[in-house]
Chain A
């Protein structure tokens, strides 16, 4: 939204609403107009924070893309439509994007119900739905227009299990997970991998996203007598669990999924998240040039704020979109075909991202083993906590 002026937007929305397909086609002919991506995501409602983080990542990537000359000389912009992560709204947005000829590709939505409800419309309408946070194993099965750079949990969870079991030497684990499609899939992959590495799963507990009180859950965990806690959580619930674990007297090692990787996790968790271990895809002192550029650029643009995992996903997604458009042009079908052709796109999450044409996902996420030391994320030095 912030990248196109309001009048263009009003004109565009009116055009879409008033059946002015022909009208906007005329507008599109002027190549001085930016190439337009549609974004469907939450700007209001319970998931609004993630939509706000997406925007930060998108805007940073766009600045860099434009500084480097844009897409073959043309500017790139996005039109962010608020879906509130509600399938009823995401399907309407999908029809809106599909019937708006200026939109060449779609990004999002955030939640699985909203994203996957819209997939049939994008598939039939022949518009790429690029779901960069959609880890649901069935997302890309919606059709050959569904592509995702979301890290597959089949890839990520064995890395976390290896960190917890092989590197930290934990033998008996309690797994706390968000009871969503993401949390559930992650848990299953984690449990499978941890058992393969020889650990025992003492207890698994699923909690709903709105939950804030975990004390009774943690008593259950305590009674199962584990030597480590695994958190398959986002940063806000992860911080709550860590705090309450310390309050009910649990002193075991805590190991968390990469989704807690956010400065907010440190802010919300305070002293309780000290010594929490987490596997991530990048870290602050990462020597990789793409990471250095991302972190430095982000801090410069947003008053010194540290980027988090969701910022990185959306930054990568916009860069991937640019790379695809550079070889796919602005035709919706050639854009789809270009997803199979892009090679080794520089990426914070993957290092070099190339799609696996079969699964329409990217494999081989980077891995860094971090620990919270003195209120900061630091690379784990191998010392026990």
Chain B
């Protein structure tokens, strides 16, 4: 019995930690309907500024907090002014991508300045412990709780009763109307980003002190857990974010209690999916709240896609097909193989995200399902590799569609968050389902690609094989887009209410898109498994999902050729920047930001 008290206390303590990030995310989402993926990076920056203040300058705690808050707020203002404000008239999806680019840049800057080694960030509070249940808590726990709850309350009061708060809420409901009423929307956004960043910075510092440890990898984890907590509480709802965080902490703690440590995050993401399916606006959303706007649809600026004549495409394909006949190095071929594999994933995502408007952030899960299916079919059942890869595609289509189907009723950002969670769930199931997937040990000795009994081992043959697959998939998808079915997909994306009124069954069409897309992604995963010969639960991770989405947006949503061009660009750029060693991801982030800034509809435009 006393153990349950301890689990409860521990759940609340860690929920407390999540709340600090969630509140900042909720504030920004409330105003700009934007999931700020850079919030975790500001948290990271805050932690390192705190380290400089505490360890180098020996500032007392109140001064440390002020320094960190001020510096982080400054970073927030810079992000708002130079990263996001130029994008306010562009497509809604551009700022989302910009925050991802900004987080790359900030994380890399911190890493280059401070080295990736973890550092100790000593707490400046007296080291006393209070007995609570079987364990103890310290003054830092209380301070974190105090900061979380106080800031949530202050923000609540600020939004409800102050004039600037009204302006913030007005801007969040209808930007144009607010501007007509004389609200300086830019100033509102500045205020919100400044406050959210200050909070994010202070929370990074406090959490660093709490664990006596800061490192450059803390940013993505903070964002992930913060997003989960925020959405559970109701996106944009500041007090809801605190309660959502505590609930998340409790669910994780009880999950550990009942099933063991390795199931912990599984419960966090299951909670998210369940909440999204049952109460899509979060547990504490008010009924009056306007329905979430679709992320794409009407928010995809009507752009004129770049028309590439067919003969040019045919020439390009032929050019790539004869490339291995020239004395190019295997390195170039391997890089292009990677691009074709990513391209298959991007084709899949550009269909579900661009054509039918379901922006998925968990697409790597489809790769993983395809890869494991194909690997296990060929190893355990001795299925010929060519058939096993197709089996991987089919399994990915079936299982992926089944897993994603509960989120069909969601719209806009909520689809992205649900798919993010489903992606994590798939990865955690692979980690824990040891009897089938061999858990963390992974699957080794996967046979190489072969076709009709001939092993495809040389880089040229793998290159031709993957090129052929992607060309066939692209032709099929191009045909699909010009068909009646493709027009129905776009109708659902552009106005789902009108589409429904016209008699289209949304769920059926979304399923069809995921079945087709799942197949392409599964085939890509299957080929990758046979190419690598070894896979485990880390091979297909969240970074892959984010990369795929970047490719799709870069190429132009729904644009088949764009997806392939984007893949070549995003696989190629980091390779070209290899000369820059540690700086290459920084450069990559900056290039990404510039692309979003100057070509938000993607290189080839939305179809």
Which residues of A are interface residues toward B (Cβ below 8 A)?
Answer: 1, 9-10, 13, 16-19, 21, 43-46, 48-49, 51-53, 80-82, 84, 86-89, 91-92, 94-96, 98-100, 111-113, 116-117, 119-121, 124-125, 136, 138, 141-142, 176, 179-181, 183-185, 205-208, 210-217, 219-220, 222-223, 236, 239-240, 243, 247-249, 264, 267-270
Contacts and interface: CB of A to CB of B under 8 A. Distances in A.
B442 A112 contact: yes
A-B pairs, top 5 by smallest CB distance, nearest first, are: A117-B532, A116-B534, A48-B116, A248-B135, A95-B334
B593 to A, nearest CB: 17
Interface in B5-20: 6-7, 10-11, 13-14, 17
Contact of B533 (A117, A125, A179, A205): A117
A181 B441 contact: yes
Interface centre among A116, A141, A179 (most CB of B within 10 A): A116
B579 A240 contact: no
Contacts of A184: 439-441
A44 B111 contact: yes
B445 interface: yes
Contact of B581 (A82, A138, A180): A82
A216 B7 contact: yes
Given A205-B260, A268-B118, A19 B326 contact: yes
Contacts of A216: 7, 10-11, 14, 252-253, 256-257, 261, 264
Nearest to B224: A210
Given A44-B585, A249-B135, A220 B117 contact: no
B442 A1 contact: no
B129 interface: yes
Given A1-B581, A112-B534, A141-B445, A206 B120 contact: no
B212 A207 contact: no
B120 A270 contact: yes
Interface residues of B, number: 83
A95 B6 contact: no
B240 to A, nearest CB: 22
Contacts of A9: 579
Interface in B565-591: 571, 574-575, 578-579, 581-582, 584-585
B431 A21 contact: no
A116 B444 contact: yes
B349 to A, nearest CB: 16
Given A19-B326, A116-B534, A268 B212 contact: yes
A120 B581 contact: no
A53 B118 CA distance: 12
Contacts of B584: 44, 82
B115 interface: yes
A99 B138 CA distance: 58
A306 B197 CA distance: 36
Given A111-B538, A181-B442, A206-B440, A49 B215 contact: yes
Contacts of A116: 444, 532-534
Interface centre among B14, B440, B441 (most CB of A within 10 A): B440
B286 interface: no
A13 to B, nearest CB: 6
Contacts of B338: 88, 91-92
Contacts of B454: none
B117 A49 contact: yes
Given A48-B111, A91-B531, A138 B135 contact: no
A183 B440 contact: yes
A9 B134 CA distance: 59
A205 B262 contact: yes
A131 to B, nearest CB: 12
Contacts of A84: 585
Contacts of B264: 207-208, 211, 216
Interface centre among B117, B445, B534 (most CB of A within 10 A): B534
Interface in B109-137: 111, 115-120, 122, 129, 134-137
A10 B580 CA distance: 10
Interface string B256-283: 1100111011000000000000000000
B459 interface: yes
9 contacts: A10-B579, A92-B335, A117-B535, A120-B533, A206-B262, A215-B14, A215-B135, A216-B264, A247-B129
Nearest to A184: B440
B253 A91 contact: no
Contacts of B253: 215-216
B213 A268 contact: yes
B257 A17 contact: no
B158 interface: no
B327 A19 contact: yes
B536 interface: yes
Contacts of B457: 124
A13 B213 contact: no
A206 B261 CA distance: 6
Interface centre among B122, B536, B578 (most CB of A within 10 A): B578
Interface string B314-350: 0000000000001111111111001001100000000
Contacts of A125: 330
A95 B328 CA distance: 12
B533 A215 contact: no
A152 to B, nearest CB: 15
B478 interface: no
A58 B3 CA distance: 49
Interface centre among A17, A215, A222 (most CB of B within 10 A): A215
B262 A247 contact: no
Given A98-B330, A120-B448, A181-B442, A87 B533 contact: no
A248 B135 CA distance: 4
B52 interface: no
B216 interface: yes
A9 B260 CA distance: 49
B211 interface: yes
Given A183-B440, A216-B257, 19 more contacts: A44-B585, A46-B217, A48-B216, A80-B581, A92-B338, A113-B535, A116-B533, A179-B262, A208-B264, A215-B14, A215-B135, A216-B253, A216-B256, A223-B3, A236-B215, A239-B213, A240-B213, A247-B129, A248-B134
Contacts of A13: 578-579
A96 B265 CA distance: 38
Given A44-B111, A99-B329, A179-B431, A208 B533 contact: no
A194 to B, nearest CB: 19
Given A91-B531, A117-B534, A206-B262, A215 B10 contact: yes
A96 B575 CA distance: 11
A240 B487 CA distance: 55
A249 B136 contact: yes
Contacts of B333: 95
Contacts of A183: 440
A111 B537 CA distance: 12
Contact of A138 (B262, B331, B534): B534
Contacts of A94: 334
B221 interface: yes
Interface centre among A51, A119, A142, A268 (most CB of B within 10 A): A268
A243 B120 CA distance: 12
Interface string B434-466: 000001111011001000000001010000000
Contacts of B118: 49, 236, 264, 268
A185 B341 CA distance: 31
A75 to B, nearest CB: 20
B212 A270 contact: yes
Contacts of A223: 3
Contacts of B203: none
Interface string B39-83: 000000000000000000000000000000000000000000000
